[in-house]
Structure 1
Amino acid sequence: MVGFGFLAVQAKNENNEQAFWIYVVFALLFQPFFKIALGKEVWNIVDVIVGVGLLVSLKKNE
Protein backbone atom coordinates (compact mmCIF):
# COMPACT_ATOMS: atom_id res chain seq x y z
CA MET A 1 0.00 0.00 0.00
CA VAL A 2 2.78 2.42 0.87
CA GLY A 3 4.57 1.62 -2.39
CA PHE A 4 1.47 2.29 -4.49
CA GLY A 5 0.84 5.46 -2.48
CA PHE A 6 4.35 6.65 -3.28
CA LEU A 7 3.88 5.84 -6.96
CA ALA A 8 0.55 7.70 -6.95
CA VAL A 9 2.17 10.83 -5.49
CA GLN A 10 5.01 10.58 -8.00
CA ALA A 11 2.54 10.24 -10.90
CA LYS A 12 0.53 13.22 -9.59
CA ASN A 13 3.71 15.32 -9.43
CA GLU A 14 4.42 14.38 -13.06
CA ASN A 15 0.84 15.36 -14.02
CA ASN A 16 0.08 11.80 -15.13
CA GLU A 17 -3.58 11.52 -14.10
CA GLN A 18 -4.10 8.05 -15.60
CA ALA A 19 -1.18 6.51 -13.72
CA PHE A 20 -2.21 8.38 -10.56
CA TRP A 21 -5.68 6.82 -10.54
CA ILE A 22 -4.34 3.37 -11.40
CA TYR A 23 -1.94 3.51 -8.43
CA VAL A 24 -4.69 4.79 -6.13
CA VAL A 25 -6.91 1.85 -7.12
CA PHE A 26 -4.02 -0.57 -6.55
CA ALA A 27 -3.30 1.00 -3.14
CA LEU A 28 -6.93 0.50 -2.15
CA LEU A 29 -7.05 -3.01 -3.60
CA PHE A 30 -3.90 -4.18 -1.79
CA GLN A 31 -4.45 -2.31 1.49
CA PRO A 32 -4.05 -4.45 4.65
CA PHE A 33 -7.00 -3.12 6.67
CA PHE A 34 -10.06 -4.60 4.96
CA LYS A 35 -10.16 -7.99 3.29
CA ILE A 36 -11.37 -7.93 -0.30
CA ALA A 37 -12.66 -11.41 -1.08
CA LEU A 38 -12.03 -12.14 -4.75
CA GLY A 39 -11.20 -15.82 -4.49
CA LYS A 40 -7.80 -17.42 -4.78
CA GLU A 41 -7.88 -17.85 -8.56
CA VAL A 42 -8.95 -14.27 -9.19
CA TRP A 43 -6.28 -12.94 -6.81
CA ASN A 44 -3.65 -14.96 -8.67
CA ILE A 45 -4.73 -13.37 -11.95
CA VAL A 46 -4.81 -9.89 -10.38
CA ASP A 47 -1.32 -10.41 -8.92
CA VAL A 48 0.11 -11.45 -12.29
CA ILE A 49 -1.54 -8.55 -14.14
CA VAL A 50 -0.35 -6.00 -11.56
CA GLY A 51 3.15 -7.48 -11.56
CA VAL A 52 3.42 -7.32 -15.34
CA GLY A 53 2.00 -3.79 -15.30
CA LEU A 54 4.59 -2.69 -12.76
CA LEU A 55 7.41 -4.20 -14.82
CA VAL A 56 6.14 -2.45 -17.95
CA SER A 57 5.86 0.81 -15.99
CA LEU A 58 9.41 0.40 -14.69
CA LYS A 59 10.77 -0.32 -18.16
CA LYS A 60 8.87 2.64 -19.61
CA ASN A 61 10.40 5.03 -17.07
CA GLU A 62 14.01 4.09 -17.82
Structure 2
Amino acid sequence: MPPKRLSRNLQGRSFRMLAASSDFRKYSFFQRTIKYWNTLPSGVVSEPSVENFYASVTKLI
Protein backbone atom coordinates (compact mmCIF):
# COMPACT_ATOMS: atom_id res chain seq x y z
CA MET A 1 0.00 0.00 0.00
CA PRO A 2 1.27 3.51 -0.70
CA PRO A 3 2.06 5.68 2.33
CA LYS A 4 -0.70 7.87 3.72
CA ARG A 5 1.43 10.95 3.11
CA LEU A 6 4.85 11.64 1.66
CA SER A 7 7.62 13.27 3.61
CA ARG A 8 11.04 14.52 2.58
CA ASN A 9 12.51 11.15 3.50
CA LEU A 10 10.22 9.06 1.29
CA GLN A 11 10.48 8.89 -2.46
CA GLY A 12 7.35 8.88 -4.62
CA ARG A 13 7.18 5.10 -5.01
CA SER A 14 7.30 4.13 -1.34
CA PHE A 15 5.18 1.50 0.35
CA ARG A 16 3.65 1.31 3.79
CA MET A 17 4.42 -1.61 6.06
CA LEU A 18 1.28 -3.56 6.87
CA ALA A 19 0.55 -4.77 10.36
CA ALA A 20 1.46 -8.43 10.71
CA SER A 21 0.29 -10.56 13.60
CA SER A 22 1.66 -13.88 12.40
CA ASP A 23 5.30 -14.80 11.81
CA PHE A 24 4.37 -16.12 8.38
CA ARG A 25 3.30 -12.67 7.25
CA LYS A 26 5.83 -10.75 9.32
CA TYR A 27 8.77 -12.51 7.66
CA SER A 28 7.30 -12.77 4.17
CA PHE A 29 9.29 -11.53 1.18
CA PHE A 30 7.24 -8.35 0.81
CA GLN A 31 7.37 -7.36 4.46
CA ARG A 32 11.14 -7.89 4.55
CA THR A 33 11.87 -5.95 1.37
CA ILE A 34 9.60 -2.91 1.87
CA LYS A 35 12.02 -1.32 4.35
CA TYR A 36 14.91 -1.72 1.89
CA TRP A 37 12.86 -0.44 -1.06
CA ASN A 38 11.81 2.68 0.87
CA THR A 39 15.44 3.55 1.66
CA LEU A 40 16.58 3.48 -1.98
CA PRO A 41 17.31 6.87 -3.56
CA SER A 42 14.61 8.09 -5.95
CA GLY A 43 17.04 7.97 -8.89
CA VAL A 44 17.51 4.25 -8.41
CA VAL A 45 13.79 3.53 -8.04
CA SER A 46 12.89 5.44 -11.20
CA GLU A 47 15.36 3.64 -13.48
CA PRO A 48 13.67 2.82 -16.82
CA SER A 49 14.80 -0.81 -17.08
CA VAL A 50 15.69 -3.75 -14.87
CA GLU A 51 19.27 -3.69 -16.17
CA ASN A 52 19.71 -0.01 -15.21
CA PHE A 53 18.07 -0.65 -11.83
CA TYR A 54 20.43 -3.55 -11.12
CA ALA A 55 23.48 -1.49 -12.18
CA SER A 56 22.40 1.37 -9.90
CA VAL A 57 21.79 -0.92 -6.93
CA THR A 58 25.14 -2.66 -7.33
CA LYS A 59 26.86 0.76 -7.24
CA LEU A 60 25.28 1.35 -3.82
CA ILE A 61 26.71 -1.83 -2.35
TM over 0.5: no
Structure with a larger share of its residues in helix: 1
**Structure 2 length-normalised TM:** 0.32
**Structure 1 length-normalised TM:** 0.32
Query: Considering only CA atoms, is the larger Rg found in Structure 1 or Structure 2?
Result: 2
